[in-house]
């Protein structure tokens, strides 16, 4: 597995190296020893305590979701299909505060993202079915949920396909300026 930095501070792209032959393929999608060694943080991978999976139809957008308080770290990968995955940095002390990046995650290259605490996350399914798996470092606490509308004009995220379905919760999410004001998120000089 290769691990690469991205141009969003502290976000990593994990790139498995699949072995392909006439039977199909085999790949290791995560290696705790390599992950911890890359970060220089022994035992960090052991902090992942919850695995979740979602299944979405083409055009569905899930997000933009985050957590307040200590936030949450997660590993995100697409186990089936293709998704347009979006991150927005909401860490006031970060050099990439307020910036967003999109990543293509699929079931061919098996790339996945390490997302440290302090990001909004969302994705759009680009195939008829897309399964996304999340490995999260903290149990879910609904009292810490954050959400910004997927179509917020200040973020102006360029979803690659027409949005077909969003949850009621995501449709009613607040705006980027509301999140900044409510949680006193301003860049620190």
Catalytic residue numbers read 65, 134
Nearest to 163 by CA among 55, 54, 60: 60
Using CA atoms, how far apart are residues 90 and 87, in angstroms rounded to an integer? 9
Q: How many CB atoms lie within 10 A of CB 186?
A: 11
DSSP β-bridge partners for residue 76: 113, 134
Residues in CB range of 165: below 8 A, 6 or more apart? 57, 59, 60, 61
First to last CA, the chain: 36
């Amino acid at each position: 597995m290769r691990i690469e930095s991205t141009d969003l501070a502290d976000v990593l792209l994990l790139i498995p190296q699949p072995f392909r032959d006439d039977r199909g393929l085999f790949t290791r999608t995560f290696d705790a020893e390599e992950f911890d060694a890359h970060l220089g943080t022994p035992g960090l991978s052991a902090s992942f305590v919850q695995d979740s999976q979602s299944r979405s139809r083409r055009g569905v957008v899930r997000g933009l979701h985050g957590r307040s308080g200590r936030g949450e770290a997660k590993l995100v990968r697409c186990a089936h299909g293709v998704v347009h995955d979006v991150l927005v940095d909401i860490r006031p002390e970060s050099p990439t505060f307020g910036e967003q990046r999109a990543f293509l995650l699929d079931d061919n290259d098996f790339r996945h993202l390490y997302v440290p605490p302090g990001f909004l996350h969302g994705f759009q399914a680009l195939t008829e079915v897309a399964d996304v798996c999340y490995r999260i470092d903290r149990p879910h606490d609904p009292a810490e949920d954050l959400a910004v509308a997927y179509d917020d004009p200040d973020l102006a995220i360029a979803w690659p396909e027409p949005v077909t379905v969003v949850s009621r919760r995501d449709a009613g999410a607040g705006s980027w300026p509301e999140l900044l004001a409510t949680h006193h998120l301003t860049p620190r000089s």
